[in-house]
Amino acid sequence: MGRSVEADPGGRIVRCLHLLSLAAAQPDPRARLNLVREYLHAHILRSAQEAGAFAALAFQGGTALRLLHGLRRFSEDLGFALERPRHDRGLEHLAKAVKRDFELSGYGVEATLRTARAVQSAEVKFPGLLREASLASERSAKLTIRIEVDIRPPAGAIVETRLITRHFPISFRVHDLGSCMAGKIYALLSRRYTKGRDLFDLSWYLTRPDRPSPNLDLLRNALEQTGWKGPEVEPGTWREILRDRVTSLDWRAVLRDVEPFLEDPRDRRLLDKERLLAELRRERS
């Protein structure tokens, strides 16, 4: 960033300085990085709200679970589904709005777009921020937040409007808990690599006192959209299908992936293969 108070009249760097003060109060580097990243997530969501992006998009994924439902792990990226295409102003419009808002808040920021057939993404990079937060020694180090938009989401998601006040007051449209759970199960069944955060989130769903059920219409549509060749997903089969998947995973890789993102490192002990299989065998009324 490299901006001084004198160089930014009008108080534009208040948000940036606030983030750096939050970071300075966190002695553990890993926890500090997670805090910085989460603050930037909230800032981007605030920018998206101000840009009118939620007229077309619905928030989804692990960051949504963290900010809305208190999931005890941090996330890297922000995920959205294009639920109302006719209201869409495009990811380029959103990326420009995010970049402008961060610049007005005193950050050095870069934004680049990447497009694919089904998913569009923007990378928002913050040169110098890691160094100023005492997370890197090189001035050239950049912290990157990726914004992903599924432009061809499967049908069936249930969308609701929610408000959060963590870091910023933000109102947005988001997939409900059952739809987010369906998205997580889809990720577990379709990924070609082991992502421990998927297993942590699954365990979180299965042990919640409100006993959420996955949105099976959404899950079936997602699997069909990507050529699923496995058994039919039904109320009586999805747990068995997941048990087979959980059994096949490399659990050393599971733990390596999730450890850097845990709110409390002791939660690592809760992510256990046999414990998760037992939860999947337990039918909940």
Domain end among 127, 156, 175: 175
Shared domain check, 254 and 132? no
Question: What's the total number of domains in the chain?
Answer: 2
Domain final position from 175, 190, 207: 175
pLDDT in tens, 80-101: 999 999 999 999 999 999 999 9
25 has pLDDT over 50: yes
Residue-level pLDDT at 10: 41
Mean pLDDT, residues 55-83 taken together: 97
141 against 12, higher pLDDT? 141
Whether residues 40 and 153 share a domain: the answer is: yes
Please give the pLDDT value at position 5. Answer: 32
Question: How confident is the model over 150-173, as a mean pLDDT?
Answer: 96
Predicted confidence at residue 4, as pLDDT, reads 33
Using the predicted structure, report yes or no on whether residue 285 has a pLDDT greater than 50.
no
Based on the domain organization, do 16 and 129 belong to the same domain? yes
Percent of the chain with pLDDT over 70: 94
The pLDDT-based confidence of 115 (bands split at 50, 70, 90) is confident
Residues 184 and 217 reside in one and the same domain = yes
pLDDT at 13: 61
Percent of the chain at pLDDT exceeding 90: 87
Query: Considering the entire predicted model, what is its pTM?
Result: 0.91
| Residue 188: closest CA among 255, 258, 118, 246 | 246
CATH at residue 87: 3.10.450.620
Cβ–Cβ contacts within 10 Å for residue 285, how many?
3
pLDDT tens digits, one per residue of 191-246: 988 899 999 999 999 999 998 999 999 999 999 999 999 999 999 999 999 999 99
* Confidence at residue 211, expressed as pLDDT on a 0 to 100 scale: 86
Same domain, 151 and 247: no
